[in-house]
Structure 1
Amino acid sequence: MDLLPKSSKEFSSSEYWEQFFRRRGEQAFEWYGGYLELCGLLHKYIKPKDKVLVVGCGNSELSERLYDAGCQNLTNIDVSEVAIRQMNERNAKRRPMMTYQLMDATETTFPESHFQAVLDKGTLDAILPNTEERTLETATKLLVEIGRVLQCGGRYMCVSLAQGHVLDKLVNQFSQGGWMVRVHQVSEGSSNESGSQFPLPVFFFVMTKVRQMPGFPQVLEMMSDKEGAKPLRCSSPDELLEAVKERQHYSLIRNRLNQNQNSQEVSLDLCDGESGRTRYTFYVLDSPTVRSSHANQFAIFIVPQGRETEWLFGSEPGRRQLAGSIGFRRLIIVALHRDQHFESMEAIQTELSAKVLELAPSGLADNQQIPFLSAGGDIGTRTVKFRGRSELSGEFVVEDARGDGTSYFRRLIFLSNQNVVQSEARLLPSSTHRGQKKKKKDKKKQQQPADKEESPSSLIIDKSYLSCEHHKIMISGLALLHNPGVLPDHHISVLVVGLGGGSLSLFIHDYFLGSRVEAIEIDPSVLDVASSWFGFSQDERMKVHLADGLVYINGLAGKEKAVYDVVMFDVDSKDTCVGMSCPPPAFVEKNFLQNVHKILKNNGIFILNLVCRDAVLKRQVMSVIHEVFPLIYAKKIEDEVNEILFCCPNTERKINPTDLMESAKHLEKTLKRPGALWDETYILADMFKSIQIV
């Protein structure tokens, strides 16, 4: 028999409930669970001698079980005459001190401050099925009436699914009145006693009526589901609402994972119970094609600190590749968040063991050993060196992290997008930077192992290293300039739009000794970070303009022409709603590109880092660029969205790929000066493999 209403509006109808209880008969209906699931919380907040009002009691056995447990001063009310008659007949003799009355909870006849506790199991949810004005007015009447009949110090206990509009109404109504608000999670979305299934978990709200005292902080708490753990103390109602919604999100994910194998990656954040800050991010990946056995059903992979931004761990395609290579039906990849302390891999395993089992595939044996895997034998190293805030991009950190092996890197990361490294530089021992071989001064030093790991505090910036593949390709594009044989000492002028940590501009400055480099950076905070933490400095050949690149180039185009041999765009967009993250759309509009053409010498080159996921938008952008620059070489970066465009002002510069690679080889030879560091993994000619004219 289907006993659920046809539409949510029926929940608030007294006619619906009258029909509901007639059809159900005397069988108890335990909305959102029964006594066994709720008794721990009920007896925590209800004292045996308390006068208790139960609103919307229906034919639930909850009051009867409370009565039998010693809480006998119970008054039950409901709008269903059938339910009240049934319950009076059932309890008049067996439980004489408990009463059942036909009454509307929004307009009771009880005197003010008559009860020490009010219990509501699903009633608020029933009368608040939507956000229509009339419905909200009814809900307000209910909550105001509950506040009226409660004594100061009394508690309103509301068992609810806490759907969005109900949650907002409940928390905001009482927090604005100065009440203490405490939230417990009762279940993960199922009721053992009723056998019903809900897609959302059940919550137990406790609103305590208190006298408002000036200067006394309001108590807003999300209680932990671990015994003895401290509650999450929230600073605002919005923070409490967010905490509840996070619990709901987690339960929905569990429900989804328990039902079937998922073709899509599922991600969720797990927060520290006391601070509320994110501690772990889980990425759950199912591989249905893996042949399941007892041994390869489920595993956990811990990403070492500092390596979470690598492609294999920081992108969905990379994580899919990792999951496929490991060979488990379900793999949870765990990223460790910054600003959190992790003692050891063993401590992480202990902390996560219970939580990951909640996300295990159905059918996993109770005694199944869950393997914890990682890249390397420890949890990695990541040290925050500086924390700041940009007016344009928000909070950021500068951190030193250990990569694969013993290499260390310094990174600039904006916390609004923690998986993206804004700028990165490799760190080297200071002795390596001096470019001199160590002399054997004494026997003791001769016996030291050559690969001994150096402390991060003694490392310095390696300016020869380009961490970004697109930076390497952009540098290689200088081989397209005329007379590349003498290019390193040739006097060339370069404009770089977008400074970041300064590695691209510094490389040109340090290896093209005849260059004059100008960089445009709109964010003063970025220039400060580059100068303080990434070894960037200005001199007579290096200058930074703190300006909007659009404004600067437009202004320059109106004054003079043919200023630069090279113009480079390496600037990202702050608008995440556009399908192009680099550059901002205004940088590829025709009028602006025409101004770029004006400031570029006839034999010069315009180099653009294009990151566009929208295929239609990309075709439009390429069409506009072609209108201004007739010859375009394009290099797609493997496993990335980035595509580097080398745009020439005229078609006379057309060079076949073979000659271009030879030119790059010759350029690399001249860049490798004696005594100067060079990254041997960087081969300029390789950057022109699979280059195309588009």
Structure 2
Amino acid sequence: MSLLPRTAEEFSSAEYWEKFFKKRGEKAFEWYGDYNKLCGVLHKYIKVQDKVLVVGCGNSELSEQMYDVGYKHLTNIDISETVVNNMNQRNAERRPGLTFHQVDATKTPYEDASYQAALDKGTLDAMASEEEGALARNMLTEVGRVLSVGGRYVCVTLAQESVIKLAVEHFVQLGWAVRLHCLQEENRTEEDSFALPVFVLVCTKFRQPMPTPILEMCLGEDGAPVRHTHVSELLSAVREHQAYSVLRKRLRTNTDANSNLSLTLCHAKTGLPRYTLTIQDSPPGAKVPRANQFAIFIVPQGSETAWLYSSGEGRRQLAASANFRRLVIVSMHRNQEYTEMQAVQSELSPVVMDLAPPGMPANHQVPFLSVGGDLGWREEVSRGVSQLSGEYCVENVKGEDGELYRRLVFLSNAALVQSESRLVSSNTATSQKKKNKRKAKASAAPVASSTSMTVDSGFLCCAHHEVMVACLAMLGVGIPQNKGVYIPVSVLLVGLGGGGLPQFLRDFMPNVTIEVVELDPVVLEVAKQWFGFQPDDRLTVTLGDGLERICALEKEGGHLFDAIMFDVDNKDSTLGMSCPPAAFIETPILQKVRNLLTPRGLFILNLACRDPALRKSVLERVSGVFPTILSRKIEEEINEVLLCTRGEKETTDATHILPSLNQAAKNLQSALCSSGTEPSRRPHIDIAELLKDLRIV
């Protein structure tokens, strides 16, 4: 038989509580905790000599225990006649000075300013669910009336958002000071315990209303108060503590290996995110050594977007190789300083034990794992704001291979690297010297001036860019005509990024001309300033909407391309498809793309789709326009490159295309290797290897 309310409305009805206490009988009901849990905060804010009004006392032992330790001026009120009679009978002999009265908390008979404290344990939560909070507001108004100047309303609550918002806004409007204590329970194992933490709300009355709200949050009974400017900030802090408590509750039982639970830890002073912790459990039945209960893995700075650490499949693979029952994967955030591994371990140690698997011995030593004991390295070189894409940063990072890379990241989706290029020293000899030095001391943070580093245009960091380049082998790129003159190839590319892909095509593909369409002018400026992008007569940029450009080119006529490439990201991450935006693969647009291709032309699409049903729909639309589609999935990524032919089905049968690619790949590889650049700057790409895994869709 459940004694908890079935609906929220029951919480505030006199009939419910009358029935509740009749069922409960003499047994005390400690709503949200007993005296032992609350005494630290209560003694902090309520003096022994204070006259205290206990609002909605119920049959809790709290007043009795407070009376026993010296609080002799307690007035207990409750709406239930049953509980008042029971409590008076229970205390008549042992505590003759402790009295209980049947009083409605919204209209008490007490004089103004007659109490120094009002104590409420769960009553606000009960009242706030009725009549859109009208009862609770009436009760709080009455509390404010009976409290003297300097008096405190001390409320024990679960701080559900509607409840705590009502109370905080009420007292802020009165000019009172508001403080919240979040009481995290240690080693809580009861199956029926609250998942949410218990909060203690303390509101202090001033003689003159405070012109600027005082809003504070404390962790624990003695935690230092953190000041907030707005009520919304305080409510946000409450939600964060509640989310953490719910996470701890879930982690006290075994989690699903696919649950992907995560937690963000913020800097106590600045409030900025500092660490993100993702919990990865071993699947049921996994053979894990008994000693391998729990471990913490520190992801090197700059590597948090790598597939191994950012994707569910990658994290499961990492956990399987580490072979622990539970692995907590820790990523470090931008704009935060991290000195050394030992300091990070010391900072995390008090928190991570809350995330330990159930049943782990208390004295178990938790190992910290990393890549070579290195925290990695990150240097922000630029930051700005795009009106179209929001705040962005350009940063240099050290890869796990010891090389330096430059990245463009839009902070609205900080887990995604928009563009990436490898950096090399402006002086080849210096570059080799530094490379040897890094090998000798891989853990040392690289010291490199941004002005002394240049982008290696012959190195494509994105695997899907390599495949898109390799697909051009089908056009006969690299096959010389008369006297070493190569077949001309025209490319329309939608999406610039850092410019690595179009620059590679211009620099290393013989007789190729490229038009890039980029929507965001800020991206173009970033590409020029930080990624070495240099347009010329063979590489031009059109600023504008890619869809509008395609429509305009088709309408004008006379514009045909040998290849049209879509490499544009989707800002709406809720659709399950991060590349391209949905509008780019609508049938009318695909038909216009087809019309803009030469008879031998290719449509090359970077597709990144997590939703199988959505991917199937995309493929159906593309195949409805293009007779033959080849696909090359990118290992350890969700990206796949679709290679779509312009010709008729019978002339472009994929069973005939695939065998001929081998020779085409050799021709293109030969052309790349014979490019006019110095050997150290020639492209690092294997065309045949990239094309061998093409599959017919």
Shared fold (TM-score, shorter chain, > 0.5):
yes
The reply to whether residue 197 of structure 1 matches residue 197 of structure 2 is no
Q: What corresponds to 1:508 in structure 2?
A: 505
- Give the alignment partner of residue 333 of structure 1, picking from 289, 309, 329: 329
Following the alignment from structure 1 to structure 2, what is the Cα–Cα distance between the partners of residues 195 and 400?
Answer: 48
Matched residue, 2:428: 432
Q: Is structure 2 residue 260 aligned with structure 1 residue 269?
A: no
Q: Are 1:421 and 2:436 counterparts?
A: no
Q: Is the 8 A contact 2:553 2:559 kept in 1?
A: no
Distance in 2, matches of 1:191 and 1:618, equals 45
Cα distance in 2 for partners of 1:285, 1:256 equals: 13
Task: After TM superposition, list the pairs within 5 Å mapping 1:375-524 onto structure 2.
Answer: 375-432=371-428, 455-457=447-449, 458-482=452-476, 484-486=478-480, 489-524=486-521
Deviation sequence 1:536-571 (CA, Å, 0-9, x none): 122232222221111111112111233322211001
Contact 1:265 1:316 in 2 (8 A): yes
Question: 1:441 aligns to what?
Answer: none
Q: CA deviation at 1:250?
A: 1.2
Q: Quick check: 1:521–1:549 contact (8 Å CA) kept in 2? A: yes
* 2:209 equivalent to 1:217: no
2:539 to 539, 542, 552: 542
1:213 to 1:58, Cα distance in 2 relative to 1, 3 A: closer
Question: What residue number does 1:657 align with?
Answer: 658
Cα deviation, 1:631-652, whole Å, max 9, x if unaligned, reads 3222122232222112221133
One-letter amino acid of the structure 1 residue matched with residue 278 of structure 2: Y
Closer/same/farther in 2, CA of residues 449 and 634 from structure 1, 3 Å limit = closer
SS at match of 1:611: strand
Shift of 1:78: 0.6
Alpha-carbon separation, structure 2, partners of 1:571 and 1:644: 13
Deviation at 1:335, TM superposition (A): 0.9
Match of 2:307 in 1: 311
- Say if 1:679 and 1:336 are closer, same or farther in 2 by CA, change over 3 A: farther
| Cα separation, 1, equivalents of 2:591 and 2:20 | 73
1:551 alignment partner, SS class: helix
Q: Is the 8 A contact 1:190 1:198 kept in 2?
A: no
Q: Does the CA-based 8 Å contact 1:80-1:102 persist in structure 2?
A: yes
The equivalent of 1:373 in structure 2 is 369
Moved more, 306-315 or 575-584: 575-584
Alignment TM-score, normalising by the size of structure 2: 0.91
SS of the aligned residue for 2:20 comes to: helix
Mapped to 1, the partners of 2:545 and 2:291 lie a distance apart of 57
* C-alpha separation in 2, matches of 1:370 and 1:190: 17
User: Residues 111 and 213 (structure 1 numbering): CA distance in 2 closer, same or farther, change over 3 Å?
Assistant: closer
The residue identity in structure 2 corresponding to 1:248 is Q
Per-residue CA deviations over 1:491-538 (Å, capped at 9, x if unaligned) read 432221111111111111211253332211112222222122111122
CA contact (8 A) 2:477 2:489 kept: no
Report the CA distance between 1:156 and its aligned residue.
Answer: 1.6
1:249 pairs with 2:243:
yes
Which of residues 129, 134, 138 in structure 2 aligns to 1:137? 134
Q: Structure 1 residues 500 and 176, CA, compared in 2 at 3 Å: closer, same or farther?
A: farther
Partner AA of 2:667 in structure 1: H
Contact residue 384 and residue 393 of structure 2 kept, 8 A: yes
Shift of 1:278: 1.6
> 1:246: how far off?
1.4
**1:579 equivalenced with 2:576 (yes/no):** yes
Match of 1:688 among 666, 683, 691: 691
In 2, Cα distance between the equivalents of 1:415 and 1:679? 33
**Residue 278 (structure 2) pairs with residue 283 (structure 1):** yes
In structure 2, the CA distance between the partners of 1:226 and 1:23, relative to structure 1 (3 Å rule), is closer
CA offset digits 1:13-53 (Å, max 9, x no partner): 21222232233333322111111111111111112333321
Counterpart amino acid of residue 227 in structure 2: R
Unaligned stretches of 5+ residues in structure 2: none
Which residue number corresponds to residue 182 of structure 1?
A: 179
Corresponding residue for residue 116 of structure 2: 116
What secondary structure does 2:216 align onto? strand
User: What amino acid is aligned across from residue 402 of structure 1 in structure 2?
Assistant: K
Aligned residues: 680
Cα distance change on mapping 1:497 and 1:84 into 2, 3 Å: same
CA distance 1:448–1:261, shift in 2 (3 Å) = closer
Q: Distance in 1 between matches of 2:150 and 2:246?
A: 35
1:312 deviates by 0.9
SS in 1 for 2:624: helix
C-alpha deviation, 1:97, in angstroms? 5.1
1:464–1:677 Cα contact (<8 Å) kept? no
Question: What corresponds to 2:345 in structure 1?
Answer: 349
Matched, 1:322 2:314: no
Measure how far apart 1:362 and its partner are: 1.8
C-alpha distance in structure 1 between counterparts of 2:423 and 2:191, whole Å: 60
Once the 2 structures are TM-superposed, how far is the Cα of residue 95 of structure 1 from its aligned partner?
4.6
Residues 116-145 of structure 1, C-alpha deviations (whole Å, 9 max, x = no match): 32111011122334xx6x252222222222
1:223 is paired with a residue whose SS is: strand
Contact 1:189 1:197 in 2 (8 A): no
Q: Deviations over 1:356-379 (max 9, x none)?
A: 111111221122111111111221
Q: Is the 8 A contact 2:477 2:510 kept in 1?
A: no
DSSP-derived class of the 1:200 partner: coil
Distance 2:477 2:367 in 1: 59
Provide, for residues 417-449 of structure 1, a one-character-per-residue CA deviation record: whole Å limited to 9, x for no partner.
2221111111112222999x99xxxxxx9x989
Specify the SS of the correspondent of 1:577. Answer: helix
Counterpart AA for 2:71: C
Rounded Cα–Cα distance in structure 2 between residues aligned with 1:677 and 1:195: 64
SS at 1:57's partner residue? Answer: coil
Residue 226 (structure 2) aligns with = 232
**1:620 and 2:617 aligned:** yes
CA pair 334-679 structure 1, distance change in 2 beyond 3 A: farther
- 1:642-683 deviations in Å (ceiling 9; x for gaps): 221122211335553232122112212111225154567520
Distance 1:191 1:636 in 2: 47
8 Å contact from structure 2 (residues 294, 366) kept in 1: yes
Query: In 1, Cα distance between the equivalents of 2:3 and 2:359?
Result: 31
CA gap of 1:119–1:677, structure 2 versus 1, over 3 A, is same
How many Å separate the matches in 2 of 1:162 and 1:408? 48
Per-residue CA distance 1:306-351 (angstroms, 9 max, x = gap):
1111111111101100100111111111111112222211111111
Q: Which residue of 2 aligns with 1:127?
A: 127
Question: What is the letter of the counterpart of residue 596 of structure 2?
Answer: I
- Cα distance in 2, alignment partners of residues 80 and 226 from structure 1: 31
Deviation (angstroms), 1:169: 2.5
User: Are 1:596 and 2:593 counterparts?
Assistant: yes
Structure 1 counterpart of 2:69: 69
Tell me, in whole angstroms, the C-alpha distance in 2 between the residues paired with 1:383 and 1:226.
Answer: 39
Structure 2 Cα separation of the partners of residues 632 and 434 of structure 1: 46
Task: Tell me the alpha carbon deviations over residues 572-622 of structure 1, each in whole angstroms, 9 at most, x when there is no partner.
Answer: 112223232211111111221222223222222221111223333323322
Which of 127, 145, 155 is residue 148 of structure 1 equivalent to? Answer: 145
Mapping of residues 49-88 of structure 1, within 5 Å: 49-88=49-88
CA 1:37–1:237: 2 relative to 1, 3 Å? same
What is the CA–CA distance in structure 2 between the aligned matches of 1:393 and 1:486, rounded to whole Å?
A: 43
Shift in Å, 1:226 = 8.7
Query: Identity over aligned residues, as a percent?
Result: 48
Per-residue CA shift, 1:72-102, capped at 9, x if unaligned?
Answer: 3322111112222233344456555544221
Q: CA RMSD in A?
A: 2.8
2:334 aligned partner, one-letter code: R
